[in-house]
Structures are given as C-alpha cells and as structure tokens.
Amino acid sequence: MGVVCLAVSGVILAITPSFPSGQATAGLTGPAFFPNLLAIIYILCGVYQLRHGTRRAGDYRAIRPETAASLAADGRTRSAWIFIGLNAGFVLLLDFLGFIVATLIFLVLLMKKLGVTLPKAALYAFIFTGTIYLLFVRLFAISLPSGILSHVGF
C-alpha cells in the first residue's frame, strides 16, 4: 500500500510542473498547488505505511481465513473475475450492441454463472430489461443507446 502511495505521488509530481501558473500573483494559488500538496501528504503516508504496515500485519490477517476458504471452495474467485469481466465487456459493447441486446446478454450470462437455470435466467433477464426500458425510456424519457437495433427503429 505504501508503494502505491509513493507511486501515485510520483506521477502527480511528474505532471504538475507542466501546469500554467494562472492569473495569480502568488505561486501558491496556481493549479499545481493543490495536487502537489496532496502528493506530499501521500509520500508521508507511503513512508509511514512501509515502516509500520509490515509490523502491524494484524490488519491483513483478519481477513485471511475468509480468503483462504473462498479460494479453496467452488471457484468463487473465478466467479468474481468473470463478474468483473462481464461488466467490462458490457461497458465496451454497450454503445455497439445497444442497451437492449447488451443487457439481455449480460444478464443471462451473469445469472447463469451465479447458478440460475437458463430458462429462469432468460425470464428474469427479460423482466429486468423490460422494467428498465419502461422506467428509463418511457417514463423518464432518458434515451439509452440503441446500437445495432437502431436500424429497425428502436
């Protein structure tokens, strides 16, 4: 964690010198001031964590049993990875596929993975997609991406 802090502050300090100084007379009020201040705090935190974090490993151990159990069990870590992957896929394909197609596919795959039988998953997927469509598009008049279905007039 300490390493992450140091890395983030390093990146900030590398970028901020390129910021203009702005209309202010004092250098204190330019756009780089605040990020630099935060970066310095992060360096302090990083150093602290590196020195004390390892000694106080108790914080980490508290969740170890749970982790171990879940790793040993029925591939739940894999489920979580698939969940994240599905989400990422949804984000990437939303504009192309359009909301209706993307949501149906996403929901069926996700529920399938979580142990719902296919007919049920399809049914729920249709219910959710329909509800969202009615609420957002019809009631709130917020347009959702139509994607490839746009050619058929959705």
Residues 88-107 that bind other proteins (CB under 8 A): 88, 90-91, 94-95, 97, 99, 101, 103, 105-107
Residues 85 and 109: their CA atoms lie apart, in Å, by 11
Which has the closest alpha carbon to 43: 88, 84, 3? Answer: 3
Q: Between residue 72 and residue 91, which ones bind other proteins under the rule CB under 8 A?
A: 73-74, 76-77, 79-80, 83-84, 87-88, 90-91
Do 133 and 146 contact (CB within 8 A), yes or no? no
For other proteins, the binding residue among 70, 72, 126, 130 (CB under 8 A) is: 70
List the one residue from 13, 33, 50, 126 that touches other proteins (CB under 8 A): 33
What is the smallest separation between the CB atom of 76 and other proteins, expressed in angstroms?
5
- If one asks whether residue 35 binds other proteins (CB under 8 A), the answer comes out as yes
Where are the alpha helices (H) located in 16-98, listed in sequence order? 33-48, 58-61, 64-72, 76-97
Among 17, 63, 65, 72, binds other proteins (CB under 8 A): 63
Interaction of residue 142 with other proteins, rule CB under 8 A: yes
Q: Does 19 bind other proteins (CB under 8 A)?
A: yes
What's the closest the beta carbon of residue 34 comes to other proteins, in angstroms?
5
Nearest to residue 42, comparing CAs of 87, 94, 95, 2? 2
Nearest one of 152, 153, 145 to 93, comparing CA atoms: 145
Residue 151 binds other proteins, judged by CB under 8 A: yes
Residue with tokens 């959702």: 144
Residue type, 91: V
Quote the CA–CA distance of 45 and 153 in Å, as a whole number: 55
* Shortest distance, position 121 Cβ to other proteins, whole Å: 8
Q: Using the rule CB under 8 A, is 28 a contact of other proteins?
A: yes
